[in-house]
């Protein structure tokens, strides 16, 4: 079953594609800081945060700015040629553990959002061929070429990794005119490529669907697929600004940040930060208290620190002040939570 459509501000997209572009920019000696202005993200935190998800709006804004700053080139093709565990993340683990290419195709169609892709994908079988259809989630000519290049090349890289480097699609059709580097497409896809088509799609022989994959391991597939579903589940959606604020506050539990400091680190004005939080149904103090309660509870349950030591870790100079704050946050005393583990 395909995942439900997400709002463009829902933080459900692993930053795999986004971080790849930032790494390209840094490798070329570009300063990526301006790409993140007014997004609630920054380059350093993005590269250090693992799979902390971002929203479509955040990712698209940064990518537009990055592509304007980068010299013209086949950047989507470059990213799509990376190792599948890098370019697809947890979804790459799930797909490579499937029994057959057909199983992987069906699972990938269901869970493609977990790869960090910013395009939507489905497939159909027509006249002995699998037709992989790609569509932009939001029409954006500035991103069209890059996003389709990355998604198509990632799919072909997966095909070749699983079934051998000699495998290629039957054909590739693209909705946009040929770029200046069109010869890169011929070199990579090694099949007929049609530019200016009515849609973007790729065809492969349906006979390939029965091919068994070399790394099939059902327990790994089950666990990885469940983790992907959890990652993109609508029940776990947080608005991008809330997630960004929480991530920043969690990294400064010992010296709690003020709203002014958080806004500055997120490249926002304080007024804009408060307005965006309000639109997401949150207030800064509520988010900060929730994060501090979560961090304190983790220390109470998992560490051997005394309650007074935990108070200091949470930025309190007085243990009694911490106890009062923790009761206000959670309705329970720190001692009762500590005793739960016994």
Question: Cβ contacts of residue 147 below 8 Å, gap of 6+?
Answer: 76, 117, 118, 119, 136
Q: What is the DSSP string of 268-311?
A: --HHHHHHHHHHTT--HHHHHHHHHHHHHHHHHHH----HHHHH
pLDDT value, residue 2 = 42
**CA 126 to each of CA 12, 123, 131, 159, 198: distance values in angstroms, whole numbers, following the listed order:** 32, 10, 7, 19, 17
CA distance 338 to 342: 8
Widest CA span in the chain: 74
pLDDT value, residue 76 = 96
CA distance 76 to 151: 8
How many whole angstroms from its chain centre is CA 113?
A: 8
Below-50 pLDDT ranges, the chain:
1-5, 235-237
Angle between helices 284-302 and 319-330 (to 10 degrees): 110
Task: Let me know: does 62 contact 35? Beta carbons within 8 Å.
Answer: yes
Structure token digits, residue 126: 């027509």
Which pLDDT tens digit goes with each residue over 123-177?
899 999 999 999 988 888 899 999 999 999 999 999 999 999 999 999 999 999 9
Task: Let me know: does 137 contact 118? Beta carbons within 8 Å.
Answer: yes
pLDDT value, residue 342 = 57
CA distance 93 to 215: 10
End-to-end CA distance of the chain: 42
* Bridge partners, 207 (sequence order): none
DSSP reduced 3-state for 134 = strand
pLDDT value, residue 1 = 39
Over its C-alpha atoms, the chain yields an Rg (Å, rounded) of 23
pLDDT value, residue 7 = 61
Which pLDDT tens digit goes with each residue over 301-328?
888 889 999 999 898 888 899 999 999 8
């Amino acid at each position: 079953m395909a995942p439900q459509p997400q709002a463009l501000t829902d933080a459900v997209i692993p930053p795999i594609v986004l971080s790849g572009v930032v790494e390209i920019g840094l490798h070329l000696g570009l300063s990526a800081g301006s790409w993140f202005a007014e997004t609630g993200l920054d380059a350093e935190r993005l590269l250090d945060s693992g799979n902390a998800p971002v929203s479509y709006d955040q990712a698209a804004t940064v990518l537009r700015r990055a592509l304007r700053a980068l010299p013209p080139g086949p950047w989507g093709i470059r990213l799509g040629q990376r190792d599948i565990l890098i370019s697809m993340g947890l979804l790459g683990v799930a797909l490579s553990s499937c029994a057959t290419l057909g199983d992987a195709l069906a699972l990938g169609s269901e869970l493609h959002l977990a790869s960090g892709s910013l395009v939507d994908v489905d497939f159909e079988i027509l006249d002995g061929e699998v037709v992989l259809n790609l569509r932009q989630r939001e029409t954006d000519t500035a991103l069209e070429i890059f996003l389709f290049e990355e998604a198509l090349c990632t799919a072909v890289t997966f095909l070749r990794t699983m079934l051998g480097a000699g495998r290629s699609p039957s054909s590739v059709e693209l909705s946009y005119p040929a770029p200046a580097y069109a010869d890169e497409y011929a070199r990579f896809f090694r099949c007929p490529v049609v530019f200016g088509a009515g849609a973007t799609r790729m065809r492969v022989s349906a006979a390939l669907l029965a091919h068994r994959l070399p790394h099939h391991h059902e327990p790994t597939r089950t666990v990885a697929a469940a983790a992907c579903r959890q990652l993109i589940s609508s029940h776990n959606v947080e608005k991008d600004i809330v997630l960004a604020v929480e991530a920043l506050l969690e990294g400064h539990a010992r010296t709690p940040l003020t709203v002014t400091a958080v806004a500055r680190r997120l490249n926002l004005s304080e007024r804009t930060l408060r307005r965006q939080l309000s639109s997401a149904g949150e207030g800064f103090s509520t988010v900060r208290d929730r994060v501090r309660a979560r961090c304190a509870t983790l220390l109470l349950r998992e560490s051997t620190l005394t309650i007074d030591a935990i108070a200091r870790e949470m930025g309190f100079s007085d243990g009694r002040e911490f106890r009062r704050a923790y009761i206000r946050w959670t309705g329970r005393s720190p001692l009762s939570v500590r005793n739960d583990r016994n």
